[in-house]
Structure formats: structure tokens, C-alpha cells
């Protein structure tokens, strides 16, 4: 460019005209630049939204074996024994809502469960068999709050709230779990709960007998896996 400028100056001083086209031919040409479209950035995953799902797992009584004593006229005192660590399948469904703010997720969930949690109770005398009965939890439900910390699609949470079950019993529950979102709509979790439905009457079952036993808490643990469908958030 300096050489061209000097040459142009000399030619002008000598009275020699220079065509603008000739000068333009020596200038660098503008190259065409292709503008490629920018790929859209996918929005960050959010746990916010309503969901429904199903679950299945195992439950077990947490009561220790306890003994009762009954007095039967004509037989005297007999011993009673409660087998309180029986367990079985639990299965049911849940519905809930989550709200995702920052790294935290708060929510509310309700569930209803079938439960095969039975306890056997027998009353025996030295030479006689008097009675045997079984009791336990055939179903239960909970209404719980949830609060967790989200690592993108992984949610670690604690949960607790109201519990209810057989014979209009009510109580409370506490637990924790971990949940993972495989897609924007499908999540799966593993959860553990402790459920306490209050005092249950153990003092019955022997005809014409005065039971000298005691009531005990109806309490059990649950470990279950669940699959949820989360509705899209608009």
C-alpha cells in the first residue's frame, strides 16, 4: 500500500492521470463470510410441575415380640405371645407437585398403599388351646412435604408428614430418598419411610378372659421404588 501511494504521488506530480479503476484493482478484495445459524441452547431441566406414579416395595413391623397375660375362669393365667416382626409387600400410587427454586426443590405428595403386614397372636394354657388371631396393617396412606437438593437431574430429599391406616388410625411418617430424571417427563426413585400409626389395642381375642396386656404402637418401615410421570411445565 505504501508503494502504491508513493507511485500515485509521483505520477500526479508528473501530470500523469491514474484511472480510479486501476487503483481499485490493486486494493484487497472483500471476501464473502458465511454466517452459520447458531444452534438454540436447550433450557435447563426443572423439577417444577405436577406428577403421578406407581410404587412397590417391602414393609416390615418394627415392634419387638411382646407377651401378654390373660386370666381365663377355670384355667387360670395363660400366656400370650405377639409375633411383631412380620413383613410383606407394599404397593400403591402417588400424586404430587414440586417447585424448583435455585438448587432446592420443595413439594407436596399424597400416596395410598396396599400393605401385607400381619402379626400373629396366640394365647395358650398348659393343657388347652384358647385362641389365636392375627392383626396388622392391610393398607395405609400418607400426605407428606418434601424438601430436597437438586444436582441437575438428580434429587436428594427428605420427607415427612401425616399418616393414616387400618381402623381409622392416624399418626406420622418420616423418610428420605433419591430421585433421578431419565427424561424431562420420566423420573424414578428409591425411598425409605418410617410410619407410626399410634397405639393399637392388643388386649382382645380370648373369650371370657381378662387380658392383662398392653397397647403398643403400630409402627413399621417401608423401602420402595417408584416410577413417576412429570407433566410438562409451560
Residue 150, domain extent: 49-230
The arithmetic mean of pLDDT across residues 33-50, rounded, is 78
Q: Is 48 helix (H, G, I), strand (E, B) or coil?
A: coil
Question: How do residues 130-187 score in pLDDT, each as one tens digit?
Answer: 555 556 789 999 999 999 999 999 999 999 999 999 888 999 999 999 999 999 999 9
The alpha carbon torsion through 45, 46, 52, 53 (nearest 10 deg) reads: 50
**Residue 173 resides in a domain:** yes
**Residue 6 resides in a domain:** no
Asked whether the predicted pLDDT for residue 234 surpasses 60, the reply is: no
The arithmetic mean of pLDDT across residues 19-42, rounded, is 60
**Selection from 121-125, 144-148, 207-211 with the highest mean pLDDT:** 144-148
More confident residue, 155 or 204: 155
Q: Which three cell numbers stand for residue 100?
A: 424448583
pTM above 0.85, yes or no: no
Q: How far is CA 47 from the centre of its chain?
A: 12
| Residue 40 pLDDT level (bands cut at 50, 70, 90) | low
For residues 214 and 22, give the distance between their C-alpha atoms in angstroms, rounded to a whole number: 113
**Residue 7 resides in a domain:** no
**Residue 37 resides in a domain:** no
Q: How many CB atoms lie within 10 A of CB 31?
A: 5
For residues 216 and 65, give the distance between their C-alpha atoms in angstroms, rounded to a whole number: 11
| Residue 204 pLDDT level (bands cut at 50, 70, 90) | very low
> Residue 36: CB partners within 8 Å, gap ≥ 6?
none
For residues 84 and 117, give the distance between their C-alpha atoms in angstroms, rounded to a whole number: 9
More confident residue, 147 or 210: 147
**Residue 201 resides in a domain:** yes
**Residue 26 resides in a domain:** no
**CATH code for position 182:** 2.40.160
| Residue 65 pLDDT level (bands cut at 50, 70, 90) | very low
More confident residue, 17 or 116: 116
For residues 218 and 223, give the distance between their C-alpha atoms in angstroms, rounded to a whole number: 17
Number of domains in the chain: 1
54: nearest Cα among 233, 178, 226: 226
| Cβ atoms of 196 and 172 closer than 8 Å | yes
More confident residue, 117 or 173: 173
**Residue 98 resides in a domain:** yes
Asked whether the predicted pLDDT for residue 29 surpasses 50, the reply is: yes
| Cβ atoms of 48 and 98 closer than 8 Å | yes
**Residue 136 resides in a domain:** yes
Amino acid at each position: 500500500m505504501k508503494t502504491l501511494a508513493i507511485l500515485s504521488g509521483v505520477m500526479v506530480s508528473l501530470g500523469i492521470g491514474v484511472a480510479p479503476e486501476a487503483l481499485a484493482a490493486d486494493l484487497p478484495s472483500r471476501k464473502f463470510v458465511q454466517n452459520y445459524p447458531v444452534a438454540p441452547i436447550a433450557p435447563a431441566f426443572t423439577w417444577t410441575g405436577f406428577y403421578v406414579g406407581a410404587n412397590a416395595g417391602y414393609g416390615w413391623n418394627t415392634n419387638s415380640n411382646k407377651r401378654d397375660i390373660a386370666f381365663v375362669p377355670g384355667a387360670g393365667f395363660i400366656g400370650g405371645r405377639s409375633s411383631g416382626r412380620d413383613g410383606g409387600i407394599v404397593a400403591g400410587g402417588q400424586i404430587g407437585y414440586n417447585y424448583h427454586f435455585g438448587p432446592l426443590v420443595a413439594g407436596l405428595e399424597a400416596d395410598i398403599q396396599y400393605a401385607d403386614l400381619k402379626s400373629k397372636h396366640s394365647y395358650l394354657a398348659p393343657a388347652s388351646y384358647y385362641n389365636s388371631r392375627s392383626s396388622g396393617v392391610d393398607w395405609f396412606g400418607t400426605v407428606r412435604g418434601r424438601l430436597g437438593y437438586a444436582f441437575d437431574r438428580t434429587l436428594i430429599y427428605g420427607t415427612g408428614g401425616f399418616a393414616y391406616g387400618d381402623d381409622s388410625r392416624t399418626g406420622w411418617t418420616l423418610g428420605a430418598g433419591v430421585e433421578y430424571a431419565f427424561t424431562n417427563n420420566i423420573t424414578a426413585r428409591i425411598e425409605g419411610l418410617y410410619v407410626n400409626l399410634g397405639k393399637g389395642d392388643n388386649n382382645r381375642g380370648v373369650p371370657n378372659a381378662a387380658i392383662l396386656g398392653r397397647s403398643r404402637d403400630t409402627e413399621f418401615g417401608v423401602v420402595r421404588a417408584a416410577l413417576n410421570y412429570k407433566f410438562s411445565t409451560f
